[in-house]
Structure 1
């Protein structure tokens, strides 16, 4: 079931009504209801893969119980390894089996040895990368002693399968979300209104911005070999806002939906395209994933401690693993490697902890230095996005080469398609809206709140009708 579907438009108010008017008085019934609707939500796509979530849930629930009972560190470590092997084994099989087989065959073909190994027709379960990392955070935190294991299977199962963020995040920590299932939840009007605001803004980011960008992105990337540099630059620019609107939009809808049910999820995006260096970008982009890798991979490797060589090794590992997490394709590995290369100069100059505040502070406009920093950082991110979008490394390199060589300054795709010039202006307005509200969680805070909400809803009902409905990009990860 997709957030931008008619089914969800019917599903959400029904669940909200039952949750607050039928099962509100009993916490156990509330949690059981959340579990049931979460399984319905996920099973709407393919009910067969509910068995994977249930299996992972039971394994990690059991591991947590036995960890608490064990006084031996070695036994606790063996239990942790059981969780790691089961969860990463399932993720590896469903997501990476064909990739490894194809890469193995291709490596032998390159040296003239033909192999007839065939791959399986494996369907990638939606959201497996997200709920796998979510359950792993639980067992790792229990192992470290940062969290008491859950004794209530219903609560734990509801935490693993919590429908708003089940298929594309945010990747919640057990230390944050799981205790919320043990606390009585009372309807809070302010929290619910805040949730509705996030849902509306998220739908605008997805339906109006991302899905409209997709029309141009698909056309430009499909015909890149016939287009000039300016048009290809526009294609990369539109993809940057397609993936941002798509993923930030999903996250905002997920966070807003959770608030309707009395839960608070972590913020996943914080205006990343206003970043002044690549380290700041990664503190603002997909925050739940970047902090997950920081806490469970980067710091255990040694983090920024030790010699420069160890620090550089850790940075390279973390970005390559992050790239590979996104998909079973060498394009994602290169994308991660590029970000590692972008990050290294920041690390070597000890500026990776700079810019912890919002750009320009309370000023209306940024300084020229800040403008240069933001444009330069966005340019690096833009080049990397080409690899993220392209179907192969070769096509990405060809796209970038043509973008840098074929310097004809005319935008061919602006004269084709729906509201082309107007749409480019709308992207600029969208950037302006985010800039003037960068101190807030979403634009519906501050002055003229209801006017802004009305305008966004009108745009949803008008421009949204003309955008092609697209699946959320991160569903494939």
Structure 2
């Protein structure tokens, strides 16, 4: 089920009414409703893949309980290993099997050998498999580390794994944050409900008005890049940068907003990343739930920054390349990750990667300084060029696109209509840049009213005109 469909706007109020008006005082029934609703939400796409979520849930539920019973470190490691092997094995089989088979065949053909009768999977990738496998793995890892005690309440744990607002495209929640909220009684908060509706509206604006309007322009430019000049190709890359941002952050905003309606607080997943002044700051603002997941469950266990510069550089490359591979079974994603590693390294070497922890761009100012404009422009340009690899179907397409962009550059004569959407978004986000939860739009009631009236009008105007799946569903 998609957030930007009529079906969802029938589903959501139905669940809301049952949750708060039929089962307002019974936590067990509320959690059961969340679980059933989550399975309906996911099964609306393809009910057959519900078995994968259920199997992952059952295995990690019992593995965590067995960990709690055992005092032997060796057995606990074996149990954790079993959880990791199952979840990563399931992810690898459905998402990467064909990639490895095709790469193996290509390597042999390059060496002069012909391979016949290779078996590939003729099935679609289960939506959101990369998200919910990482979510349930956070549970077993935290139980192993004794950061969290396992729950014996299977319904609550299953609700955590399949929580419908963020099930298929995040944020990737930690068990230490979301599970305790599921296990305790919740009461309706009018303030949270209003905040949730604001975020839902803002997320729909970014998805329906901006991302879906830019999608046809992006598709045409990338699919026919040979017919356009370099200036138009640059526009195509910029449009994709905003399409994927509005598409993905829009989903996260809706997920956080819907969760607030039911009394849950999810982590922030985006904090205006295109106002970043270097790559380090960009990755603290972009897909935060994934970048912090890799930091806590891979980078730090590998040694982090504790064993000297060279070991740290190795770990950085591993993190970024694995992050790229997480996004998809294509060499383009790994090159995208490698590019970000190369962009991040200078910042790490000169200790500027954590420079902007305490303050945002143009702090307490209306406009940025010339230095900040240059920093943001440079960072955005580098990120945008890297997005070409992310969007392209193959390495050959990406390299041809970029070479034509630079070697055949002329001021664009077509596809200019998307610039208006970019300007509108950046103007609005600049005013909101210190408040990604939209808690304080303005102290003036009339300003807030006009803002939400404008957003609502635009969503209604564009709703259903161009309807596309959320980009991150494929991951």
TM over 0.5, yes or no?
yes
Indicate the larger mover: 439-448 or 368-377. Answer: 439-448
Check whether the contact 2:272–2:436 (CA below 8 A) recurs between aligned residues: no
Structure 2 residue 344 is matched with structure 1 residue 343 = yes
Corresponding residue of 1:104: 104
Residue 296 of structure 1 deviates from its aligned partner by 0.2
For residues 142-153 of structure 1, what are the structure 2 equivalents within 5 Å? 142-153=143-154
Structure 2 residue 474 is matched with structure 1 residue 440 = no
Residue 111 of structure 1 deviates from its aligned partner by 1.6
SS in 1 for 2:36: helix
SS in 2 for 1:369: helix
Structure 2 residue 202 is matched with structure 1 residue 201 = yes
Residue 465 of structure 1 deviates from its aligned partner by 4.9
Corresponding residue of 2:354: 353
Corresponding residue of 1:27: 27
CA distance in 2, matches of 1:215, 1:86: 39
Corresponding residue of 1:80: 80
Aligned residue among 371, 375, 378 for 2:373: 371
Per-residue deviation, residues 23-74 of structure 1 (Å, max 9, x unmatched): 1110000001100000110011111111111100010000110101001010
Corresponding residue of 1:300: 301
Indicate the larger mover: 317-326 or 348-357. Answer: 348-357
SS in 2 for 1:300: coil
Residue 464 of structure 1 deviates from its aligned partner by 3.9
Per-residue deviation, residues 410-455 of structure 1 (Å, max 9, x unmatched): 33223xxxxx2xx422321210110111111245722311110000
Aligned residue among 394, 419, 423 for 1:424: 419
Corresponding residue of 1:58: 58
For residues 3-402 of structure 1, what are the structure 2 equivalents within 5 Å? 3-116=3-116, 117-356=118-357, 357-402=359-404
Structure 2 alignment gaps of length 5 or more = none
CA distance in 2, matches of 1:137, 1:411: 49
Per-residue deviation, residues 358-408 of structure 1 (Å, max 9, x unmatched): 111111111111100000000110011000000001100000000000022
SS in 2 for 1:333: helix
Check whether the contact 2:67–2:144 (CA below 8 A) recurs between aligned residues: yes
Q: Give the number of aligned pairs.
A: 469
CA distance in 1, matches of 2:282, 2:333: 18
Corresponding residue of 1:459: 458
Tell me how large the CA RMSD over aligned residues is.
Answer: 1.0
Corresponding residue of 2:415: 413
CA distance in 1, matches of 2:49, 2:301: 32
Check whether the contact 1:2–1:8 (CA below 8 A) recurs between aligned residues: yes
CA distance in 1, matches of 2:421, 2:124: 37
CA distance in 1, matches of 2:228, 2:48: 44
CA distance in 2, matches of 1:123, 1:239: 24
Check whether the contact 1:165–1:254 (CA below 8 A) recurs between aligned residues: yes
Per-residue deviation, residues 174-213 of structure 1 (Å, max 9, x unmatched): 0000001111111100001000000000000000000111
Check whether the contact 2:35–2:159 (CA below 8 A) recurs between aligned residues: yes
Which runs of at least 4 in structure 1 moved beyond 3 Å after TM superposition?
463-466
Residue 230 of structure 1 deviates from its aligned partner by 0.6
Check whether the contact 1:201–1:442 (CA below 8 A) recurs between aligned residues: no
